[in-house]
Amino acid sequence: MAGGSSRRWGRAVRSPLGVTAAVLLLAVLLLAVFAPMGWQARADAVHPADILQGPSGDHPAGTDLLGRDIFARVLVAARLSVELALAATGLGVLVGLLLGTAPLLLGRRAGRWAGALVNVAVAFPSLLLALFFAVVFGVGAKGAVLAIGLATAPAFARLTQTMAATVAGRDFIAAARIAGVGRVRILLRHVLPNIAEPLVVAATMAAGSALLAFAGLSFLGLGVQAPGYDWGRLLGEGLAQIYIHPAGALAPAVAVVLAAMAFNLAGEVVARAIGLRSAESGTPAGPVTAPPPRAAAATEPAAPLLAVENLRVTFPSLGAQISPVREVSLRLRPGEAVGIVGESGSGKSLTALAIAQLVAAPGRVDADRLEFLGADLRGGGAAAHRRLLGTSLAMVFQDPMTSLNPTHRVGHQLAEVVRRHQGADRRSAWARAVDRLHAVRIPAAARRARQLPHEFSGGMRQRAMIGMGLMASPALIIADEPTTALDVTVQREVLRLLENIRTADSVGLLFISHDVTVVAQVCERVLVMYAGRIVEDLPSGALLQDARHPYTRALVAAVPGMETDRDRPLAVIPGRPPDPARLPSGCAFAPRCPLATEVCREQDPPLAAYDGDRRVACHHADLAPVAVAPYRTTAGRDES
């Protein structure tokens, strides 16, 4: 742990930002300590002969109204500026800590009062608080320290409060409390050390803000009083002469900004080092690219609804490229229902997204062939096939609670499809939307269309999603776990709805699910995926009784059958799917496979034709399915 954190620190400090912050902060602190020793005399020397001189070799920032050297004054002012800012920060941190830990120290009641006070106080900007306190404590440096310190306190108290509350809820605190450890001791020994890092970060940044606030007050004439001077005061004096002599105002301004930035950057670097912030990243859609042209794949005479050959999805990961989906080939005839099953992480959903051209950047989709209704989807980017995909390909996603836009009316979200792709006018698009909602059996469709998604139940939202897919005239529906988030009755309704649509209009269905039984019910063919590959392709009639791949059999065996006791924990396949970044050599399923032999661990079995129209990727596909039985008991025993 210690090694890990020192490494993080090392990395943070060596980053360009870290170096900049460290150098700047060090410079500011050194200046604050030593500048008055070196330049005090120069800064105070009055030269009536050179009043308000511009910058020159002698006076890099010129001179002020009394002929004093401004550059030296700015350097010397570092001491007072930094000192006062640190004093104010210290005060603010102290008061903030006291207020913030009041619930722990003084018990519930007093804590609630402190909390209410903090709540009211944080609503006011700190500059306003500072002005208020400046009135109370009087004009001058001391008053300003008190004012800025107290103005910083509420925000700090809020931070302490939230963090201390989370720490205080943890077990070891409860244990200490039961053991009779006193409140102060709990606070000092258990709570504060656990929130110290973020507090230090906040305090560092607060010092930067205090510096600026002080400059502000002194600039207004409410802070440091003559003959003393800090950066704010120099700025105020300089501004009056800015037309004659801009350097007088700019030099202290630059000094304040640099110093404040030093504190802020240091805080930022520390925050990153201890993992409070991470670099943001964003990843929306990337186009599908065709791989370099190969020798023409065997041309197919009849154009199927969907033809995919050798589909691969690649993501960059820690410098390497990983492919969570590989060598996927599949084919759908119009009106056909094909299922893809597999555990989570098998690549089945990603396959669906890849086919639908919805893989997010930096993901890359390559394929030897990717044709939908005869159109090659690989080239031309998203725009080229927008209309085709928008009207003929419908998507239904897993979580109906999050898949509809929370700020748009449901009817609008449906109507949009035909408005964009078929140029329907507002009114007819709306009528169509209501009609489609009606078609997916949403009661009182006209009224419901005007509602927002959160007013729909989960089942209704999923039906609305399906209705959205039916706005135009889809030839294919890709449904990715459409019923997983729904309860059993609703699930059945949604499945029946999909089935009706499919048979009525001969719409193809690509149905992704982890549930073997549902897939066997809904689909004619089933593709079983494991570790990004198709490992078996079989008619759904054969799925439950005659699967050849041990993984398929295990999936089937894991289903609680009619005869299984409902109270028994669900059987699962022991082990976990492999990490796509570290695939084992040989068959990816070998580590979990009861039939695995030497050859399995050495050679990856190809997906080969089996028994006519089936395909399976297993060296021991011919072994009798008897092997399932002992496997299943093992699974059961492991679970109990």
Q: Which does 619 bind (CB under 5 to 8 A by kind): another protein, ligand SF4, none?
A: ligand SF4
Q: Which of residues 591-610 bind ligand SF4 (CB under 6 A)?
A: 593, 595-596, 600, 605
Peptide bond between residue 324 and the one before it cis (omega within 30 degrees of 0): no
564 binds, among another protein, ligand SF4, none (CB under 5 to 8 A by kind): none
Per CB under 6 A, 627 contacts ligand SF4: no
Partner from another protein, ligand SF4, none binding residue 334, C-beta < 5-8 Å depending on class: none
Which of these, 159, 149, 158, 163, lies nearest to 95 by C-alpha position? 149
State the minimum distance, in angstroms, from the CB of residue 22 to another protein. 17
Mask for 144-163, x = binds ligand SF4 (CB under 6 A): --------------------
Pick the closer one to ligand SF4 by CB: 419 or 549: 549
Question: What's the rounded Cα separation, in Å, for the pair 420 and 471?
Answer: 11
Unique residue bearing structure tokens 């960059």 = 316
- Quick one: 275 or 575, whose CB is closer to ligand SF4? 575
Q: Which does 587 bind (CB under 5 to 8 A by kind): another protein, ligand SF4, none?
A: ligand SF4
| Count of residues that interact with ligand SF4, criterion CB under 6 A | 13
Q: At what angle do helices 550-557 and 628-639 cross, to 10 degrees?
A: 50
How far, CA to CA in Å, does 635 sit from each of 555, 589, 620? 11, 16, 20
State the binding partner of 466 from ligand SF4, another protein, none, CB within 5 to 8 A by kind: none
- Pick 45 or 136: Cβ nearer another protein: 136
Give the interface segment with ligand SF4, choosing from 40-48, 224-232, 414-422, 613-621 (CB under 6 A). 613-621
Contacts of 533 (CB under 8 A, 6+ apart): 326, 327, 328, 347, 588, 607, 617
CA distance 127 to 388: 58
The CA distance from 196 to 12, in Å, is 18
Q: What, of ligand SF4, another protein, none, does residue 593 touch, CB below 5 to 8 Å by kind?
A: ligand SF4
Q: Nearest-CA neighbor of 216 among 116, 130, 290, 334?
A: 130
Q: Which does 526 bind (CB under 5 to 8 A by kind): ligand SF4, another protein, none?
A: none
Partner from another protein, ligand SF4, none binding residue 374, C-beta < 5-8 Å depending on class: none
615 φ, ψ (degrees, to nearest 5): -135, 145
Among the candidate windows 315-323, 364-372, 424-432, 618-626, which touches ligand SF4 by CB under 6 A?
618-626
Please say which residue, 230 or 536, places its beta carbon nearer to ligand SF4.
536
Nearer to ligand SF4, 183 or 592 (CB): 592
**Among the candidate windows 8-16, 323-331, 494-502, 612-620, which touches ligand SF4 by CB under 6 A?**
612-620
Decide if residue 31 touches ligand SF4 (CB under 6 A).
Answer: no
Q: Extract the tokens encoding 383.
A: 């725009």
Distance in angstroms (rounded) separating the CA atoms of residues 463 and 486: 11
Say if residues 497 and 441 touch (Cβ distance below 8 Å): yes
Is 590 a binding residue for ligand SF4 by CB under 6 A? The answer is yes
* Token pair listed for 143: 């008053």
**Sequence-ordered list of residues with C-beta below 8 angstroms from that of 321, at least 6 positions apart, any chain:** 314, 315
Task: Select from another protein, ligand SF4, none the partner in contact with residue 595, using the beta carbon and a kind-dependent cut-off of 5 to 8 Å.
Answer: ligand SF4
Interface of this chain with ligand SF4, residues 560 to 589, rule: CB under 6 A: 587, 589
The answer to whether 556 touches 516, Cβ cutoff 8 Å, is yes
DSSP letters for 483-508:
TTTS-HHHHHHHHHHHHHHHHHHT-E
CB 252 within 8 A of CB 235: yes
Q: Judge contact between 423 and 503, C-beta under 8 A.
A: no
Cβ closer to ligand SF4: 303 or 623? 623
Q: Which amino acid is at 613?
A: D
Range list of H helices, 506-572: 516-522, 540-546, 550-557
> Which region holds residue 138: left if phi is over 0, alpha if psi is between -120 and 50, else beta?
left
DSSP-H helix ranges across 274-396: 348-355, 381-384, 386-392
Residue 212 interacting partner from ligand SF4, another protein, none (CB closer than 5 to 8 Å by kind) = another protein
For residue 514, the partner it binds in ligand SF4, another protein, none, with Cβ less than 5 to 8 A by kind, is none
Q: Report strand pairing: 393-396 vs 476-480.
A: parallel
**Pick 117 or 596: Cβ nearer ligand SF4:** 596
The residue (of 201 and 600) whose beta carbon lies closer to ligand SF4 is 600
Question: Quick one: what does residue 215 bind among another protein, ligand SF4, none, with the CB cut-off 5 to 8 Å set by partner type?
Answer: another protein
Distance (Å, whole) CA 513 – CA 528: 10
Binds ligand SF4 (CB under 6 A): choice among 333, 412, 620, 632: 620
Cα separation of 625 and 550, whole Å?
A: 8
Q: CB under 5 to 8 A by kind: which of another protein, ligand SF4, none does 87 bind?
A: none
Whichever of 306 and 607 has its CB closer to another protein, that residue is 306
Shortest Cβ 440–ligand SF4 spacing (Å): 41
Shortest reach from residue 576's CB to ligand SF4, in Å: 15
The minimum distance between CB 219 and another protein, in angstroms, equals: 6
Site string for ligand SF4, 524-553 (x = CB under 6 A): -------------------------xx---
For 132-167, give one letter per residue: b (16+ CB within 10 A) or e: ebbeebebbbebbbbbbbbbbbbbbbbbbbebbbeb
Smallest separation (angstroms) from another protein to the CB of 222 = 6
Q: Whole-angstrom Cα distance, residue 260 to residue 284?
A: 36
Q: Which does 361 bind (CB under 5 to 8 A by kind): another protein, ligand SF4, none?
A: another protein
Q: Which stretch binds ligand SF4 (CB under 6 A): 107-115, 181-189, 237-245, 615-623?
A: 615-623
CA distance 457 to 493: 14
Q: Which is nearer to ligand SF4, 223 or 345 (CB)?
A: 345
Rank residues 69 and 537 by Cβ distance to ligand SF4 and give the closer one: 537
Minimum distance between the CB of residue 246 and another protein, rounded to whole angstroms?
5
Min dist CB 387 to ligand SF4, Å, is 43
Q: Rule CB under 6 A: which residues touch ligand SF4?
A: 549-550, 587, 589-590, 593, 595-596, 600, 605, 618-620
